[in-house]
Amino acid sequence: HILGLHLNGLQGNVTSNLFFANPLSSCLAVDEDEMKKLYGKNTTDIRYRYWFAVGSGGYMSLEKYRYGEYIPLLKYGEILLILAETSVSIEEAAGYLNELKTLRQIPAEQIDDFNLMDKLEEEYRKECIGEGQLFYFYKRISKLQLPGSITMKKENYTLPIPMDELEFKPTK
């Protein structure tokens, strides 16, 4: 991790209440079949192996924050994704994406003009799961049809101004 946040009591106060695989609760559980589709059935991807635990009822719990008191704010994998996204050539972007894949113990892939954005989105979905960063990627590329049949509008990417801020807005 390049930058992180240390939170005293993270394990007891937050993760024990949110990150466990019980689909009947308000925990942060994910559908096991969806994760297998995203990461591959017999994957060697270390994110799949270490960030999830099989629960009950076809759900998995997101375990990446369950232990310890440290939340990453900026990871090397995220930097590689940003570099790939902003690269000036396909070859450069492919190099960054394949470096990330190698770090995550999955085989490098052939990346070209036709599949670059799909591969970039796939790696963002894997690398940033449970972090909220995928929202900003989708906002940057103005993606309107999200996985899970979710349709977005451009205005969905603009968060409302808090009422407290409007109270102090000078009038013209």
Beta bridge partners of 71: 5
pTM: 0.83
Mean pLDDT across the stretch 13-27?
53
Predicted pLDDT at 20: 52
Q: How far apart are CA 160 and CA 157, in angstroms?
A: 10
Mean pLDDT for the chain? 85
Q: How far apart are CA 18 and CA 29, in angstroms?
A: 8
Task: Work out the pLDDT band at 168, boundaries 50, 70, 90.
Answer: confident
Measured CA angle at 106 (ends 103, 109), to 5 deg: 105
pLDDT tens across 90-133, in order?
999 999 999 999 999 999 999 999 999 999 999 999 999 988 89
* Token couple for 50: 């270490």
Predicted pLDDT at 21: 45
* Token couple for 65: 């924050």
The residue assigned the tokens 């036709």 is: 114
